[in-house]
Structure 1
Amino acid sequence: MTTEVSNPASVEDLLSRRRSPLERVQHLLHGNPALSPLIVLIVAIIVFGIVSQGFLRPEALSLLVQQMAVVGTLAAGQTLIILTAGVDLSIGMAMVLASLVMAKLSFSGTPGILALLIGIAVAILTGLLNGFLVTRINLPPFIVTLGTFSIFTALSLLYAQGQTVSLDPDAFLLITGSSFTIGPVSVTWGVILMLAVFLILGFVLRNSAWGRHLYATGDDREAAQLAGISTRKLLFSAYVVAGVCVGIAAWIVCGRVGGADPNAGLNYNLLSITAVVIGGTSLFGGRGSVVGTLIGALIVQTFNSGLALAGVDPNYQVLATGILVILAVAIDQWIRRVRG
């Protein structure tokens, strides 16, 4: 007669049995940063779909996505900076400066493709400047980008002489504003360009050594240096890639509004950071994803559009965004205290 002897439970099994339901939720969210914003997005869509009858119409949803294309692209670049435990307060004004260069060159007769490339080059230069000051001069990212925010604002106003630059209806830069239909849904090429940015960055962050080193640097820069990672070059490259995202966002905004506005940058600065934070990327670095950022940008636009359709005062829309940011940071702090 034989007796079966069961294998001893693993340490992970013993720990999981001792966790309370709340601790299990904490561990689940820690391992899946995009899960909590996804839940918020689904709940928000359901609530606004009930409150506003027109919210769930295909036309309204396609317009919602079109409106968040610029913020989404900027937030993709902002994600790279925040993953390194930094922040870019100048990203919106850098986009405005690049879009003004594109629009004015195109308006003055410069071939559209050349105007686009020069504008993207200007955007990359803004990233180069921020990266140089952070990595070579060793200044804090908050202080650097706060200073360059003022610099880019002044340059934009001086370059455009405080005036909005409108583009000819046939200008090449307006391609991102043109659309095509898929059934009842209208999709602009700007949305496709934004999604391409997210797909490329998501693939690179997940599957490349550069992406893994970026997470490691944001999580613990000293440990990353001891592991042989050139953190200075890595941080510099993050600002450069963010500059590319800024240039693409400038192209999208030209197509969306039909030109460039020197006074449009402040909201974009705040909204890009808001989308990243609400999307589950930690302000302390090393944790988050561009998928979460995309969801975060959708949440911001969903609240703005949903409250507007419900006839809520615009001031309450700003209030709702502020509450979302505070809640997102509080949840991130709670998730980071995960144990075991």
Structure 2
Amino acid sequence: MSTTLSQSHSSGGNPLGGDDTKRSPLARLQHLLHSQATIGPAAVLLVAIVVFAVLSPRFLTPGNISLILQQVAVIGTLAVGQTIVILTAGIDLSCGAIMVLTSIVMAKVAADTGLPGLPALLLGFLVGTLCGLLNGLLVTRLKLPPFIVTLGTLNVFFALNLWYSESATIRGTDMPSLLLWTGQTINLGGTRVTYGSIMMVVLVAAMAFALKNTAWGRHVYATGDDLEASRLSGIRTARVLLSVYATAGAVYALAAWVLIGRIASASPQAGQMDNLDSITAVVIGGTSLFGGRGAIVGSLIGALIVGVFRNGLALAGVDVLWQTLAVGVLIIVAVSLDQWIRKVKP
């Protein structure tokens, strides 16, 4: 499979050719969703917003919108790293553990040694990148499946987190102000938006640009589309995979910074389910678990869908049990839709 075809999976157009006028409406929809992966999730998000706005007059208030954005900031940031891994037909179950370990390293080294905020932050980014690099080395050098590798490192990083933190939470009052900066807010149109949410949007834009407009991005799509064909065409697939996991680790470190600002502390027990939530956001956002098709923007939309559903259902008085059930149904529908889209015919 060529790199050009891989690009078209995410950037639009009709890479499969054929005359749309001769297809049934359902076939046209299938081709449209194949070429534009974010259309489906965007439509779901729009419908959800309209429905919940009708069900609850509080849904579209500035305070509630601010709450949704704050809740989505951590998962949305994690989803960026998870997306580039899944685009290569991999998966990263350790992303939440890397984020929490990194947050503990940032906070504890600053609180215990008096290290200023910037060096503590940079140390955290180094730790996150090295964790991602370890995942990449195990996948590329030992040829182990990403699922097994990251399942193992999930436990390793979580154990290191508990050991280093001594299972104790580091309070925000003991940290430099820079580590808490992502939790500060600014007023945008009457809505209080955190700097962490703004960083998430900037990160999504930067990664989307890199995937669409750089050779590295094209190689990521090609590697996920067909690893062997990409290798035979001259792409250094092992190097691409290594760079993807290392970059993802750095993104998880950024999520750690957002997490510290979000909860105004660093807790070894925080974000225990965030790895699954990030995968949920990516899948609902239209990125194929089989690799080679999807977009970063879709993952942000997926994170917003989950945030909107949980918030809207809570405002409607729906029990947490049924909120979880609704998200589970969304995942099943998203994966089923992906399977249908992948069967598109020229």
After superposition, the Cα gap between the structure-2 partners of 1:260 and 1:16, relative to the gap in structure 1 and judged at 3 Å, is same
The one-character-per-residue Cα deviations of 1:268-306 (angstroms, maximum 9, x if unpaired) are 111000000000000000000001011001001111111
Q: After TM superposition, list the pairs within 5 Å mapping 1:275-314 onto structure 2.
A: 275-314=281-320
Q: Please report the TM-score for the alignment, with normalisation by the length of structure 1.
A: 0.94
1:78 aligns with 2:82: yes
Tell me the residue number matched to 1:4. Answer: none
Distance 1:146 1:163 in 2: 24
Tell me the residue number matched to 1:6. Answer: none
Give the ranges of 4+ consecutive aligned residues of structure 1 lying more than 4 Å apart after TM superposition.
none
Distance 1:69 1:315 in 2: 23
The one-character-per-residue Cα deviations of 1:70-90 (angstroms, maximum 9, x if unpaired) are 100000000000000000000
| Equivalent position to 1:126, from 104, 127, 131 | 131
SS at match of 1:186: strand
Distance 1:103 1:259 in 2: 8
1:224 aligns with 2:230: yes
**RMSD value over aligned CA atoms?**
1.3
| Conserved 8 A contact 1:106-1:167 | no
| Equivalent position to 2:186, from 180, 184, 187 | 180
1:141 aligns with 2:134: no
Tell me the residue number matched to 1:53. Answer: 57
Structure 1 residue 61: Cα displacement = 0.9
Tell me the residue number matched to 1:5. Answer: none
| Conserved 8 A contact 2:183-2:195 | yes
2:90 aligned partner, one-letter code: G
Structure 1 residue 174: Cα displacement = 0.5
Distance 2:17 2:282 in 1: 34
Distance 1:24 1:235 in 2: 34
1:157 aligns with 2:162: yes
Distance 1:16 1:297 in 2: 32
Structure 1 residue 15: Cα displacement = 3.4
Structure 1 residue 220: Cα displacement = 0.4
| Conserved 8 A contact 1:162-1:262 | yes
2:274 aligned partner, one-letter code: Y
SS at match of 1:180: strand
With 277-286 and 168-177 compared, the bigger mean Cα shift is at: 168-177
Tell me the residue number matched to 1:16. Answer: 20
Structure 1 residue 251: Cα displacement = 0.5
Distance 1:24 1:113 in 2: 52
Distance 1:63 1:17 in 2: 45
Greater Rg by CA: 1
| Conserved 8 A contact 1:107-1:167 | no
Structure 1 residue 264: Cα displacement = 2.1
Structure 1 residue 166: Cα displacement = 1.1
Structure 1 spans left out of the alignment, 5+ residues: 1-11
Distance 2:281 2:246 in 1: 20
The one-character-per-residue Cα deviations of 1:124-143 (angstroms, maximum 9, x if unpaired) are 11101100000011100000
Distance 1:222 1:298 in 2: 35
Structure 1 residue 170: Cα displacement = 5.8
Tell me the residue number matched to 2:276. Answer: 270
Structure 1 residue 171: Cα displacement = 2.4
Structure 1 residue 13: Cα displacement = 9.2
| Conserved 8 A contact 1:218-1:285 | yes
Structure 1 residue 182: Cα displacement = 1.8
With 329-338 and 164-173 compared, the bigger mean Cα shift is at: 164-173
| Conserved 8 A contact 2:117-2:176 | no
Distance 1:164 1:231 in 2: 40
Percent identity of paired positions between Structure 1 and Structure 2: 55
Structure 1 residue 17: Cα displacement = 3.1
